[in-house]
Structure 1
């Protein structure tokens, strides 16, 4: 019996999305790792782990950051997070729902 799609999403896709948002917040918005952690509601250690791929798939993160359509969505969410108009948990769930199927499909190729 195969693993349910939600297990793949929680274990691989969601951490890669968090890592992508953290990367965009640092790189494009100039936030420090500490500030990124505050914006995302996670610890600074988690940011360090995302950066070093200990908590996310480097391959999925690279795919997210290489696709213009996906990076556009990540930047939009990052902007709303910085402005405080979007809840971090809601943001991650929303991105995961929108991106999981396309990321899973491309990773199986």
Structure 2
């Protein structure tokens, strides 16, 4: 059994990054610019947009809209690279725990009491 923090690192954050990279590219940014903005390598951007990374779970429409809005703000200068971590955490908090666990075929009751609050929308902090 993977602890929830590992699920976030291996599935949730990559899914958010993948969607963000795709949205930025859809807004006309080049892979090199996306990699610099997201502080990741250009090959990582390539893997995100080709679903070699970040495709382990599907994000719901609400979360995808938050990512799309953030991408638009980044593209038009209303948001900056400095806001990337905070906004990623804010988006992560809106990911539904039950949805992620279901997609990964994990029963929430398998999580220990100490671990049930550190994944997705039930997180008190990121």
User: TM-score range with shorter-chain normalisation?
Assistant: 0.7 to 0.9
1:95 aligns to 2:91 (yes or no): yes
In the other structure, the counterpart of 1:6 is 5
Which blocks of at least 5 consecutive residues in structure 1 are unaligned? none
What TM-score comes out, normalization by structure 2 length? 0.68
What TM-score comes out, normalization by structure 1 length? 0.76
Aligned-CA RMSD value: 2.1
Q: Secondary structure at the match of 2:95?
A: helix
Deviation at 1:84, TM superposition (A): 5.2
- Pairing partner for 1:79 from 65, 72, 82: 72
Deviation at 1:106, TM superposition (A): 4.7
Q: Is the 8 A contact 1:13 1:100 kept in 2?
A: no
1:8-47 mapped onto 2 (5 Å cutoff)? 8-27=7-26, 29-47=27-45
Q: Secondary structure at the match of 1:99?
A: coil
1:49 aligns to 2:42 (yes or no): no
| Matched residues, number | 102
- Structure 1 residues 100 and 41, CA, compared in 2 at 3 Å: closer, same or farther? farther
In the other structure, the counterpart of 1:70 is 63
Higher Cα Rg, which structure: 2
Between the aligned partners of 1:68 and 1:5, the Cα distance in structure 2 is 22
Deviation beyond 6 Å, 4+ runs, structure 1? none
Deviation at 1:102, TM superposition (A): 5.5
